[in-house]
Amino acid sequence: MFVRPSWMPQSQQDVFDIIQQNPWGLLVSNGEDGPDVTNLPFVLNTARGEKGVLTSHLSRANAHAAALANLQEPVLAVFHGPSRYITASWYPGRDMPPTVYYSAVHCYGSLVFQDQDQLHEAVENLTQRSEKNIPQGWSTQEIPPADILRRLPAILGFELHIERLEAKFKLGQDEPKRDAMAVAERLLKSESPGDVALGAMVYRYNEGRG
């Protein structure tokens, strides 16, 4: 990933926050005919290892699952934070070209496959995390345990042990401070939650600049 020094994250926790707030990611691995890519939900455990461990699963009917089972090389998980096209009309002098503000995280590492008990626990954990903010959300307790267990053999569960973590927070830090702060002000007034989240990041990453 191309990352200018000014675009580096302020902390590893900021990087973890992007993953935890945007857990729908891309799993990428080398394939015989080019890259294999699958969109998956991930759960990050920051307490394991120096850079954390990602957990997910995919259908064994997916050809990517068979490729992963025989893979020797590291894999990549990609996550994106809020992003926005920034029009030059938002800059006070209207004298800068338009651009895109965004954040992205790349996690490289090796896979460890789960047995059925580990997979069952991981699926339960993912369900609870996904349902926790939904009023009267669903629980696996609402169906017979057998209805969960019979589906597990059709799923390949895995852990991605992060060995290399790259992150890019392109939030106007390489532009005049007045321009970045003007963009933050615009975004924070938006009715879009994504714009507001991005605006808060832009403000925090630029407010302390000289």
Its pTM stands at 0.94
| pLDDT score for 12 | 96
Res 83: pLDDT: 97
C-alpha dist (Å) from residue 5 to 18, 19, 95: 19, 21, 24
Using DSSP bridges, classify how beta strands 155-170 and 99-113 pair: parallel, antiparallel or unpaired. Answer: antiparallel
CA distance 17 to 12: 9
Contacts of 96 (CB under 8 A, 6+ apart): 88, 175, 176, 179
pLDDT in tens, 104-139: 999 999 999 999 999 999 999 999 999 998 999 998
Instruction: Give the Cα separation of 137 and 173 in Å (integer).
Output: 40
Domain limits of the chain?
Answer: 5-174
pLDDT digits (tens, 9 = 90+) for 34-58: 999 999 999 999 999 999 999 999 9
| Whole-number pLDDT of residue 32 | 85
Q: What is the pLDDT of residue 43?
A: 97
The correct CATH number of 5-174 out of 2.30.110.10, 3.40.50.720, 1.10.10.10, 3.40.640.10 is 2.30.110.10
Q: pLDDT (tens digit, 0 to 9) for every residue of the chain, 210 residues total?
A: 999 999 999 999 999 999 999 999 999 999 888 999 999 999 999 999 999 999 999 999 999 999 998 898 999 999 999 999 999 999 999 888 999 999 999 999 999 999 999 999 999 999 999 999 899 999 888 889 899 999 999 999 999 999 999 999 999 999 999 999 999 999 999 999 999 999 999 999 999 997
Q: 3-state SS of the chain?
A: CCCCHHHCCCCHHHHHHHHHHCCEEEEEEEECCEEEEEEEECEEECCCCCCCEEEEEEECCCHHHHHHHCCCCCEEEEEECCCEEECHHHCCCCCCCCEEEEEEEEEEEEEEECCHHHHHHHHHHHHHHHHCCCCCCCCHHHCCHHHHHCCHHHEEEEEEEEEEEEEEEECCCCCCHHHHHHHHHHHHCCCCHHHHHHHHHHHHHHCCCC
